[in-house]
Amino acid sequence: MNVLILHGPNLNLFGRREPHIYGSVTLPQINERLQRLAEELGCRLLTIQSNHEGALVDFFHEHIDDTAGAVLNPGGLTQSSVSLHDCIKAMPFPVLEVHMSNLAAREEWRRHSIISAACRGSVMGLGWRSYTAALRALVESLREQADS
């Protein structure tokens, strides 16, 4: 079972960028924790981080036929990317949106995600654990779906 992990713009700065909001865990540490969980869950991760919207869209397109689901932190594209929204809607697999912070508790302009409407669900506000919670929930739901 292949699962995509997509990290959007500026997320390569985790651990340095506003640690009072995002914590001190780095993106490589998050990816390492996700990889360990994926091994435990019996799935294979395909991971990308890009500061470019089109690279994320291209990654989805590249894996449209070999992926069971995806976990996406759109970062700064959350409130603005119609292209990413439309891409997610075109995918034949579920996508979970992830945010380390709780968007509802942030600035007013951050509170509305145009990505959410295209996704199966969202996990936010748990710091780096938002990623592992999303991966676990995604794999469990995919297995339940396959069993029914």
Active site residues: 22, 99
Dig out the tokens for 147 from the structure: 């069993």
Strands 2-7 and 44-49, sheet pairing = parallel
Detail the DSSP E strand segments found in 50-141.
69-73, 95-99, 121-124
**12-33 in b/e burial notation, b at 16+ Cβ within 10 A?**
bebbeeeeeebbebebeebbeb
Could you tell me how far CA 144 lies from the centroid of its own chain? 21
